[in-house]
Amino acid sequence: MSAGVDLDNVCADFGTFRAVDNVAVNIQPGEFFSFLGPSGCGKTTILRMISGFISPSQGVIRIGGKDMKGQRPNQRPTALIFQNLALFPLMPVWENIAFGLEVRGVDKQKRRARAEELLHLVDLPDAADKAVAQLSGGQKQRVAIARALAVEPQVMLLDEPLSALDLKLRQHMRAELRAIQKRTGVTFIYITHDQGEALAMSDRVGVMSQGKLQQVANPRDIYNNPANGFVASFVGENNIFTGEVQGTEGNLARFATASGTFTARLGPAVTQGMKARLFLRPEHVRLAPGAGGTNSIPVEVTDVAFEGNFISIHARDAGGQVLLAEARNDGATAVPAPGDRLHFTFDGQNAVILTGDTAARDIDA
Amino acid sequence: MKDLLNRYGLLLTTVFAVLTGFWILVLVVLPNIYLFEHSFKPYLPVAELGGPKDVYSLDNYLTFFRSPIHISVFFWTVIYSAVVTFICFLIAYPLAYYLSKVSARALLPMIFLLLFIPLWVSEVLRSFAWFIILALKGPLNASLLGLGIIEDPVRWITGFRGVIIGLVYTYVLFMLFPLYNAIQSLDTNQIEAAEDLGAPWWRTHWRVILPHAKPGIASGSVMVFMLSAGSILVPTLLASTNSRWFTEIIQQWMFESQDWNTGSAYAFLLLILCTVFVSAVMRVFRVKLSDIAK
Amino acid sequence: MRQVRSIDWLFHLYLVLFLAYMLLPLIVMGGAAFNDSRFPSVYPWVGWTDRWFVELWADKRMWNAFANTIYVALAVVAISVPIGTAAAILINSIAGATRSVLYALMVAPILTPGAVIGISTLLFWNGVGHAAGSDFFLFKAGLHLSVLGQVSFIAAFVMLLVLARLQSFDRGLEEAALDLGASHSQVMRRILLPHLYPAIGAGAAIGFFQSIENFNVTLFTRGTYDTLTVYVFSKVRTGITPTINALALIMITATLLGAIGYEIGRRRRERRLAGK
């Protein structure tokens, strides 16, 4: 029922522009795999190559171990869910769902029955005869999923299908998608620029930038053990210090920056004497009234924002760098006020030294 | 082409290409090239075709340039077609403005239905209607006499008067609709902003509305001019003895003299006239062909 | 709402005058069909009669012209609709200089005087006949040449209508259908054409009326055949009687009914789509 997808050093060129650069990854049968990256990183191109709308300029794509070269979209065992869903506006819901069966010559009664069945699966039992225009955003979403499932694809390809929904619905649909994937066992390949979506739903995430696959790992490792500066900065918030690696002790290293010398974990491919960046998540910053141990930065609080389940504290250090800390709103932590002077401290195991460019900050803007 | 293949596959792409190719090549390009070529050949009996006399020459065009009558007919055709175009603009502009910016929305479908009626009626019948109305003892003179506006019946069909009246009536809608479309796309706020800034009404029109309506003016002018200059029915039905239209001379060559070669030379001159007019309008109004074709 | 201003009543008056200007001549012409006068006019009113309709009904030449007109119009629609639709789809998925040139060639027939189209069509097919050394009737003037001449510009109208409709088409729908396993022709039949039907229908209707009305192209290509416009034209020039008015009234009524029927059908379709 489900097949793996292998990308073997796949490249895509548009004129002189290389949209996808040597991407190699093996996606397992039944896996929920996400390609995560900013717009223009090449993730949509990968999806269109897997579905067959674009052919790779180099490399091989295999689905279920079979080379897809020369196979047109309608010959591949994939079903694509488009960003705008691409529901056929002139057909009622059930004809939309049964379209894939119709073009395969399945007779009308069977088509109708299958459509009803799928509508139950996506929890829209009474929508069969409705017009597409009558459906809400979330309902359209479900119809699109049902339509794709109707052709019993071995691989489902999803191109940011949730991006048109409002926040609340989006979070609900995440769980729904995940549940449908588990129920059907079909391989899901999911494209998104929303890290929250990718981390929450996926078995594994492939982070992309400028056509290159930066890291493939499970969501926890993507967040906790980023492979380079791009992954670290694209996924989640960071305090970033630029500096130089001075000496190593075990898996920790001393790192000299304008804000002081810190100890932190050494990321992959970082060695002594290298110029690099130190990444520190705001939730790993602790607030201390006075200097405390090695990793301690004296700061002045500039702004305190109450976010609900946590409180974010903006501060400036002696060198003028803006830093961010997040404290859980558990009532146990004393909340500072703007103008307070205190120290930001952190555990060296929670900060990592990485190379590579950082992601532009206005990705989701 | 690659995009086309991806979207529609080889078979359908071939079908599209063949149909389009048949239209563009066989129905449009080749006949015009043939017309052009033919216009440089002499008019010969069938037996002499391909013989020593069958050579290219400018004779057919020289026939035109040596005939003061034909030149003057051509000249007046151009002038009066331009006059008709201008009159159509004067009549249509206030109405287009009214329909797009002033009139009540709810009435528009009704007004447009009424306006479409004459458009659906054949040109020959519309000219014929004026043929009746303008007759010396026709209803127009009768009403004017009855109202005491005139004392003696007016001979309406004299000089180019009848032709102009007929052409304006027949083609004014081809000016109205493009103008309406163009003015309608103007944001009403812009008009109100201009008025708010103290512009008098005529300046609002001159500086805001007219410039915005340029594609519509261009489109309407091209259509009205081309249709007028190429009209056969109106000049034939509503002409007086001293108003001849260029298309009538083309007809003479084609039907009376049976000299298709000279006829094609004259037809080609008409084509050049229209091409020049279209290019001139495109340049003056700085619009693209796709703006006109709308 | 805009404020009602004193100038507005002038506009209203102007509109009424304009509508009268557009419609009165047609009423005069139609009215003359019932006037019992040798010469077609509403003034002086001699008396009410239906004899012009009776005479028209008995006119064999008119019936012949009528049949020819319908034959030509149907043929024109049958040829120009597929051509115009194919051309629109074709030009919609090409870009750059090729597109501009092709587009110019496609709209050129609209901006070409009918006389030129008629003459070039006539000469070209005659020339082809000569070159082939054939007297085959298809190369001679006749209604089939009128059809070809009319198609050359009516296809352009269809193309423009379909192209405008294509602009609102989401090509993602094509890809979605392909992805679901549809073949190219299935995509065409189930996805693209249904989207284009309104434009194709409008193109067919406009093409039909344009063909019926056409005079200039037909005049040069028809040979010895009559169409209604040619018939009216020759009647007006030679022996004019109010039978022409009777014919005019019938044609106006028929076109009006056709237009109203088309409009009602369109609205009903719209309502059905919106209401479902």
Instruction: Choose the closest CB to C105 out of B28, B124, B135.
Output: B28
Q: Do A188 and A286 have their domain in common?
A: no
pLDDT score recorded for residue C274: 62
Distance CA A188, CA A177 (A): 10
Quick one: pLDDT band at residue B294, thresholds 50, 70, 90? low
Higher-confidence residue of B235 and B49: namely B235
C196 close to A (CB below 8 A): no
Using an 8 Å CB-CB cutoff, list chain C residues near B131. 236
Query: How sure is the predictor about B86, in pLDDT bands with cuts at 50, 70 and 90?
Result: very high
Lowest mean pLDDT among A166-180, B190-204, C81-95, C194-208: B190-204
What pLDDT was estimated at residue A363? 35
Amino acid at C155: A
pLDDT of A62 > 80? The answer is yes
Do A164 and A273 share a domain, yes or no?
no
- In sequence order, the β-bridge partners of residue A5 are A27, A63
Looking at the fold, whether A294 and A175 belong to one and the same domain comes out as no
In a domain, A170, yes or no: yes
Closest residue of chain A to C185, computed from CA coordinates: A103
User: Which among B32, B95, B144 is the top mutation candidate for probing chain C, defined by the most C β-carbons within 10 Å of its own β-carbon?
Assistant: B32
Whether A271 and A173 share a structural domain = no
Q: Is A65 in the same domain as A87? A: yes
Which pLDDT band, with edges at 50, 70 and 90, does C71 fall under? very high
The verdict on A186 and A327 lying in the same domain is no
For the ranges A107-121, B23-37, B148-162, the lowest mean pLDDT is seen at B148-162
Q: What would the mean pLDDT of B222-236 be, rounded to a whole number?
A: 91
Integer Cα distance of B31 and A270 in angstroms: 75
Mean pLDDT of all residues in A116-133:
90
Least confidently predicted of B115-119, B234-238, C59-63, C86-90: B115-119
Domain carrying residue A348 = 237-354
Average pLDDT on A189-211 reads 93
Q: Mean per-residue pLDDT for B177-186?
A: 90
Percent of chain C topping pLDDT 70: 95
Query: Residue A360's pLDDT is what?
Result: 64
In this structure, what DSSP letter does residue C240 have? -
pLDDT band at A192 (very low <50, low <70, confident <90, very high): very high
Q: Which residues of A touch C170 (CB under 8 A)?
A: 84, 86
Rg of chain B (C-alpha set): 24
> What is residue C72's three-state secondary structure?
helix
B137-163: average pLDDT: 80
CB B218, CB B281: distance < 8 Å: yes
pLDDT band at residue B168 under the 50/70/90 scheme = very high
Residues A321 and A216 occupy one common structural domain:
no
pLDDT for res A361 = 52
Average pLDDT (A240-267) is: 87
Question: Alpha helix locations (H) across A76-166?
Answer: 93-102, 108-121, 137-150
Q: Is the pLDDT of residue B235 over 70?
A: yes
Rounded to the nearest integer, the mean pLDDT of chain B is 86
pLDDT given for residue C188 in this prediction: 93
Note whether A65 and A203 are same-domain residues: yes
Q: Nearest Cβ partner of C42 from B31, B114, B139? A: B139
The answer to whether C192 touches C86, Cβ cutoff 8 Å, is no
Checking if the pLDDT of B133 tops 70, the result is: yes
**Of A202, A224, A246, which marks where a domain is finished?**
A224
What total of structural domains would you count in chain A?
2
Q: At what angle do helices B260-285 and B214-229 cross, to 10 degrees?
A: 170
Residue C113 has what pLDDT?
Answer: 92
Give the integer Cα–Cα distance in Å for C123 and C220: 10
What integer is the mean pLDDT of A92-106? 92
Interface test with C, best of B132, B134, B219 (most C CBs within 10 A): B132
pLDDT per residue over B239-282, tens digit each? Answer: 877 778 999 889 888 888 888 888 889 999 999 999 999 899 88
Q: Return the pLDDT at B236.
A: 86
Domains of chain B, CATH where assigned: 71-107+155-293 (1.10.3720.10)
Give the residue from C262, A196, C149 showing the smallest Cα distance to B32.
C149
What pLDDT is stored for residue A324 in this prediction? 92
Touching A (3+ Cβ pairs <8 A), the chains are: C
The model's pTM: 0.82
DSSP code for A92: B
Residue A307 counted as domain residue: yes
In a domain, residue A230? The reply is no
Predicted local distance difference test score (pLDDT) of residue A364: 34
pLDDT (average), residues C194-199: 92
Domain C30-35+46-275 has what CATH class? Answer: mainly alpha
CATH number at residue A27: 3.40.50.300
Statement: residue A79 has pLDDT above 70? yes
Contact B64, B261 (CB under 8 A): no
Residue B46 β-bridge partners: none
The answer to whether residue A116 scores a pLDDT higher than 90 is yes
Q: For residue A24, what pLDDT band results from cuts at 50, 70 and 90?
A: very high
Residue A331 is predicted with a pLDDT of 75
Q: How far is CA B212 from CA A232, B97, B116, C11, C91, in A?
A: 52, 12, 25, 21, 28
pLDDT range class, residue B202, cuts 50, 70, 90: confident
C263: three-class secondary structure by DSSP: helix
Per-residue model confidence (pLDDT) at position B5: 84
- A219 and A328 share a domain? no
Q: Is the pLDDT of residue A362 over 50?
A: no
**A100–C contact, CB cutoff 8 A:** yes
> Would you place residue B220 in the very low, low, confident or very high pLDDT band (cuts 50, 70, 90)?
very high
Q: What is the pLDDT of residues C246-272, one digit of tens each?
A: 888 888 888 788 778 877 877 787 777
Is the domain of A105 the same as that of A216?
Answer: yes
Domain residue spans in chain C? 30-35+46-275
Q: What percent of chain A has pLDDT over 90?
A: 47
Please say if the pLDDT value at position B161 is more than 60: yes
Same domain, A157 and A274: no
Question: Across all residues in chain C, what is the average pLDDT?
Answer: 87
Whether A359 is in a domain gets the answer no
A73 and C176: CB-CB below 8 Å?
no
CB atoms within 10 A of CB A209: 23
Same domain, A150 and A250: no
CATH no. for residue A320? 2.40.50.140
| B68/chain C closest Cα distance in angstroms | 23
Binary contact (C190, A103; C-beta < 8 A): yes
Please give the mean pLDDT across all residues of chain A.
89
- B28 closest CA partner among C101, C254, C23: C101
Q: Which of A203-212, A296-305, B159-168, C129-138 has the lowest mean pLDDT?
A: C129-138
Q: How confident is the model at residue A365 (pLDDT cuts 50, 70, 90)?
A: very low
Q: Looking at residue B87, what is its pLDDT?
A: 96
pLDDT bin (cut points 50, 70, 90) of residue C241 is: confident
| pLDDT higher than threshold 80 for residue C2 | no
